[in-house]
Every structure is written in structure tokens, then in C-alpha cells.
Amino acid sequence: MLAFGAGALISAVSFDLFEEGLKLAGGVPVALGLAAGALTYFAADRLVEQKVPGAGAALALGALLDGIPEQAVLGIGLASGEGISISLLAAIFVSNLPEAIGASSDLRQARRSPGTIMRMWGAVAVLCALASLAGFAVADATSGDVEAGINGFAAGALLVMLVDSMIPEAARKAGRIAGLVTVLGFAVAAGLS
């Protein structure tokens, strides 16, 4: 599941975040967002790792740092009348479900209670829903540069999370087959895009 999700996330970063950001405003806003997202995830992951060791917390942090800007972009798209592409929704689902399953199973192995895990995912869901509402509310005041920067932020956070947590954990758990399953996840999500 982690390997498949990693492939889907690589596709989402490539086609739904980075490429869309470039179309919206060019390279500078996307690059600034990319750097901000990567540095934010890197720093936040180090803090989380001190309190909750293991890949589960890192994957949950990745879901949060990816989810908030992703949902803000969806809110902006809805408010501007662009709608939401089915391919983006499918890519979000295809990538986030394995990420959530992997994080939850790692947290259970680390002896976190089911209630704690459910509260954590509930908080992530509420924050992401609020990000959609915020994106919808500020859509008229945002430019393509802001949306491109948000896309870049999500892409940067995701890339660091993929390399630091998700891909190594998938390879550790599944062995060499993880690479093939990652390609399958990429292909499915890319096909949906």
C-alpha cells in the first residue's frame, strides 16, 4: 500500500501540483512554494520525530502538510468556477488512502491507541476541511501566483516526505517488489490525470 501510494503521490506532485502551478504562474512562485514546503516538512518532521519516533507520525505529518494546501487549492478552484477535476480527486484519494493506512498501522505497531489514531485523523480531516473553506473564502483575493505557490508548497512537502519516510518504509516492508508497485501507483494516478 505504501509503495502504491508513493507512486500515486509522485504522479500527483508531477502532474497535479507542479505542472499546474507552472501553467498558472510560471516557475518562480512554484519554486518558492516548493522550497517553503520542503523546508517546512523537514523541520516539522524533525520535531515530530523527537516526540513520536517511527514512520507513522511522519506519514501523518505529510498528509497534513500536503492536505492543507491541496484542499486550499480545491477551495480556490471551486470559488473561481473552475470546478474540480475528477482526475485530481482520484489522485488525491489514490495517494492519501495508502498513506493513511501505512501511518495508522505504524502507529498501532508503536502501541498508539485506536482512539488516539482516530483523533489524529479527525484533526487532519477538520484542518483540511477548514483549508478548503479558507481557499473558497479568499479565492477572489488570490492571484495565480498564490495558487501556484500553494501547489509548490504541497509538492515540496510531499517530495521530502516521500524520500524521508514513505519510500524507505515501503521498501523495508515489501522488499524489492516495492519499486514495481510504486510504478503501478504512478501509472494509475498518471492515467487518471
φ and ψ at 54, to 5 degrees?
Answer: 110, 165
Mean pLDDT for all residues in the chain: 89
Q: Which helix (H) or strand (E) holds 47?
A: helix 27-51
What pLDDT does residue 140 have? 83
What pLDDT does residue 87 have? 66
pLDDT digits (tens, 9 = 90+) for 71-86: 988 888 888 887 776 7
Q: Which helix (H) or strand (E) holds 86?
A: helix 86-109
CA distance 105 to 114: 10
pLDDT digits (tens, 9 = 90+) for 117-164: 999 999 999 999 999 999 999 888 888 899 899 989 999 998 999 999
What pLDDT does residue 102 have? 84
pLDDT digits (tens, 9 = 90+) for 91-121: 677 778 888 888 899 899 988 999 999 999 9
- Domains identified in the chain, total number: 1
| Res 38 pLDDT > 80 | yes
| Res 193 pLDDT > 80 | no
Per cent of the chain over pLDDT 90 is 49
Domain that holds residue 154: 2-192
**Residues 124, 130, 131, 134: what is their CA dihedral angle, to the nearest 10 degrees?**
-170
What pLDDT does residue 89 have? 76
**Residues 6-27, mean pLDDT to the nearest whole number:** 90
CA distance 72 to 54: 28
Q: Pick from 73, 85, 40: which is nearest to 142 by CA?
A: 73
Task: Give me the residue label for grid cell 484519494.
Answer: 93
What pLDDT does residue 153 have? 93
